[in-house]
Each structure stands twice: as C-alpha cells, then as structure tokens.
Structure 1
Amino acid sequence: MPITIRKADADDIPAMLAILDSAVVWLNARGITAQWGTEPYSTRPKAVEVVGAYVTECSPWIAEIDGVPAGTMTLAPVPGAHVPPADEPEVFVRSLATEGRHHGRGVGSALLAHAVEEARRQGVSLLRVDCFAGSEGRLVRYYERQGFTPTETFTVGDWPGQVLARRV
C-alpha cells in the first residue's frame, strides 16, 4: 500500500498524539520503557503542549496509508533544548513515530525520505536527528541504516541520547 505524506495542522494534533501513544504501547510491549516512558503522550500535559507547539512553531507531517494516519514527524530549523544547534543551517527531525500497527511497513523510512526532500527544497544540506541511545543502540542503528552518521552523545537525566547527521 502506498504511503502518502502531508503537512499536518492543528486539526491533526489528536492524530499525532494517538500515533505517539501507540508508539509508547509498541515500545513497552517490547520491554522498552526508558525511551518514551510508560504513560501515553496524550495524558502528559507537557507532551501535549509540545505537540501543539510543533504545529505552530515547526513543520509537522503525517504519513498515511489508505488515508489513515500511520506516522508522524516534525521538522524544525533547530534541535530541542538538550542538543546544541549546528554551526550551519540545518533541518532537525523531531518526534518521528510510527503507529504501532504500521511498524515494519516503511513509514519511518518514507518520513525520513520526505525530510531529505524538505531539506533540499529549503536549500539546507544538513539533516540531523536525536534519538534514544539505550536498548543496545537499536534506534541508533535504525538511523544509520537510513543514511545518518552518529555525531555527539548527550544525556537528559539518566536518558542516554545520540545525535546523528546526514548530508543531503
């Protein structure tokens, strides 16, 4: 089934939260609780606020399969507060998530390919992302398979993070 990607807006906040909630359930079912915790995004006021800010301050996207939201990603000109900005213009991937039922169907890859297209469209040659570095680096390896190279590491409390970059 083809994956289509469209720009998200304020009407998509419930769908974005539902995708993030589903990703938490999917991770937890695999014993991964340190990445995004165990509580649904939609029940965390700060998380809901962040998703709302993505719609007004960034460039959120929704991937759909047969018109049904299957994934989400937000692109920003700068990283979140825990990662220093690059020394050049960049597009930063935030909150890439696939709805649990759609894992393994290429949704994340399609969204990241769209991020590459968006960076090129903006005339920006640096695409970066940060991710959870725990769970034996599984997510880091995923981004490496998508063409990213690990750069610096960071921690937020006891949460280990990895920044990765890709030239486009």
Structure 2
Amino acid sequence: MEITIRKGGADDVPAILAMLDSAVVWLNSQGITDQWGTEPWSTRAKAVSLVEKIVSEGTPWIAEIDGLPAGTVTLTPHPASYVAPADEPEVYVHILATDARFHGRGVGAALLAHAVDETRRQGLSLLRVDCFAGSEGRLVSYYESQGFTRTDPFTVGDWPGQVLERRV
C-alpha cells in the first residue's frame, strides 16, 4: 500500500467533504460527537462554505491509496480567525482528515510529513495547527506524536481547542 500525495484544487471540494463526512461517522462510532458534531459536513451550508473558503485561500493536498482519495490537508499562510497569527511567516494546517476507510494506515502522518516538506520548501521554519482538545486530549496527543508542541489553548463557544507548533 503506497500513499501518494497530489496537489488539489477547487474541483476536490466534493471529495474533501466526503472525507470529512466519513470522518464524522468514524468519530461518532468512537463516541466522539463534540469534535465535529453528528451531521455530515456536506449537509451543513456553513461547513461547506468554510471548506470552500479554506481551499480557495490555501493549497489543498490529497493523499491517495490505489487512486482513491484517502486523506486531505489544506495549507495556508495564516491561521483561522479564532487563532492569533504568529509573529513570523508560517504555514498553517487546516482540514486534516482521513477517510474512515483508510483510518490507521498512516495517511495523516504522511500528510503532516508533506506539510513539513512544504514549509521547508517555502523557506519557512514554523508549521502550526489547531485541533479539538476534548476527548481526553487524544487529538492533541496525536499531534505531539507527530513532532508538534502545545502552545496556546483556546475556546470557541464551548469547543475546547489547542494550538500546536512544529519547528522545521
């Protein structure tokens, strides 16, 4: 099983939404409903608009296994509006998701390694991400296992989040 990563574009928004929809089903099957809710992203107008906006502002990347979309990440030069920008140029990870069919096969790790390579290629040294900090911090721990370090916690409404960074 080989993971290939290709540059995506606006045409990939339906595939990105499908991956997010499958991730919601997988998260819910694990008892995690607070992270991304219980409704498919593709059926929520605000969520669809958010994905379209992030993809238009950044560079989406699609991981494929056997020609099938297995995961996605979009890299931008700035964080989401609820996170303060860094005091230096950065690459920011958005919409990191793995299609549930490919969970546990290293897709997320491959996409994060690609994000590190892209950060270096741009001549930058700061890669940041934010994530859901609930569910006993499992996602925060995942990013730490991928070389990220916690920086600033935050909340959006009642959604607990954590910003992490990685120097490359």
1:67-117 deviation line (CA, Å, top 9, x unaligned): 100001010100001100000000000110000011110000000000000
RMSD, aligned α-carbons: 0.6
Q: 2 CA distance for matches of 1:70 and 1:37?
A: 21
- The aligned residue for residue 68 of structure 2 is 68
Contact kept, 8 Å, 2:27 with 2:33, in 1: the verdict is: yes
Q: 2 CA distance for matches of 1:146 and 1:126?
A: 14
Q: 2 CA distance for matches of 1:52 and 1:154?
A: 24
Count, aligned residues: 168
Aligned AA (1:19): M
Please state how far the C-alpha of 1:16 moved relative to its aligned partner: 0.4
Aligned AA (1:148): F
Aligned AA (1:140): V
TM-score by length of 1: 0.98
Q: 2 CA distance for matches of 1:90 and 1:74?
A: 14
- Would you identify which runs of 4 or more consecutive aligned residues in structure 1 move more than 2 Å? none
SS in 1 for 2:83: coil
* Correspondence list, 1:19-168, <5 A: 19-168=19-168
Contact kept, 8 Å, 2:54 with 2:94, in 1: the verdict is: no
SS in 1 for 2:33: coil
Structure 2: segments with no counterpart, 5+ residues: none
SS in 2 for 1:147: coil
Q: 1 CA distance for matches of 2:149 and 2:132?
A: 15
Identity rate of aligned residues, in percent?
74
Q: 1 CA distance for matches of 2:36 and 2:107?
A: 19
TM-score by length of 2: 0.98
Please state how far the C-alpha of 1:55 moved relative to its aligned partner: 2.7
SS in 2 for 1:155: strand
Q: 1 CA distance for matches of 2:103 and 2:46?
A: 26
